[in-house]
Amino acid sequence: MSIKQSIFDDLLKKKIIPDGSQKKLINIFDHFYSKEKKYFSKFFKKPNFLYIYGDVGRGKTFLMDIFYEHYLGKKNRIHYHNFMKKIHDDLKANQGIKDPIAHFCKTLKNQIDILFLDEFNITDITDAMIMQKILINLDKYKISLITTSNYLPDNLYKHGLQRERFLPSIQWIKDNFTIHQLNNDNDYRRTFLSSSNVFYFHEKENVKENFLKIFNKLSHSSEKKTISIDNRNIAIEMESDNVVWFDFDEICGGFRSTRDYIKIAEIYSSVMISTVPCFFSNNDDIRRRFTWLIDALYDKNRKVIINFEKELKEIFYSTDNPEINRTLSRLIEMQSKKYLLN
């Protein structure tokens, strides 16, 4: 049975009918997996790079993950934030090496033939320059790459500082990747939703009392008032072996990084966040940290219980921002029984 037929059968079992754009992507996967030429085929401009982009909730990650499940070679699937964390940790550990990024990719080649990278998104010039070298070395060591993104390559790191330094990388992506847009009118994260009582709105009084009841149903608290992430203390409301409760100001109001949130997602299966405010353009820094936190928790399929100041559709200042739309879409999915039971 071809990889294409296996994916279609899998979708049929899930009662999902792919649209035209999704069928085309599945055909691309089939070519990519071609046994005749191992992982490569003439279908690609460059044999081993595929860039899938489109609006939030269009099935990019969903379809990539199904292909990942059916792919039988040496592989790794990782979120972009986690991947960059691994790179930064490796660079720190190998400071004396002449070309540490080439060393990282050469080592990676010994482990995998193909990298599945979810949510490709450049957020600062340092990562932009690192990623430029990573892509070149993935090509050098013949490591196949499939990545998803909310952004057309031309819109990566748009309005970022010193973006002109990243423009050659964008051109390299356009020259060397097969680029496929996945778009339709449906947000598949909303399709199979059934509301679950994990989000609470408009509660200004008795928030702690109500959250304490929820926490006690989930676990038994320790006496700890702080946790240590990368040797930095973060204040908490309550914590147990696999559940932690933060006040929003503590987890998103200070100087936190994606590394902090990735570590939290690795440690805890359930995360509670109380008193999430409305986000405006003048407090976009805390909104972005909240986005990073939700990304990290979503990627690990962690459960969240959140108290919001207002309804979801009212807490964000804009619906024209892809980051905001992705966060909103994921928050909606994270309430669903399907997500909670996964």
Encode pLDDT of 165-179 as tens digits.
Answer: 999 999 999 999 999
Quick: pLDDT tens for 246-279.
999 999 988 888 989 998 998 888 899 999 999 9
Report the pLDDT value the prediction gives residue 219, as an integer from 0 to 100: 67
Which tokens belong to 108?
A: 């990676």
pLDDT in the model for residue 193: 37
Q: Dihedrals φ, ψ of 180, to 5°?
A: -125, 125
SS (H, E, C) 144-189: EEEEEECCCHHHCCCCCCCHHHCHHHHHHHHHHCEEEECCCCCCHH
Tell me the pLDDT tens digit for each residue of 309-333: 888 888 888 778 888 999 999 998 9
Question: Which backbone phi and psi does 228 adopt, to 5 degrees?
Answer: -110, 120
Indicate the DSSP class of residue 77: E
Q: What angle do CA 51, 40, 28 make, to 5 degrees?
A: 50
Name the band, by pLDDT with cuts 50, 70 and 90, for residue 223. low
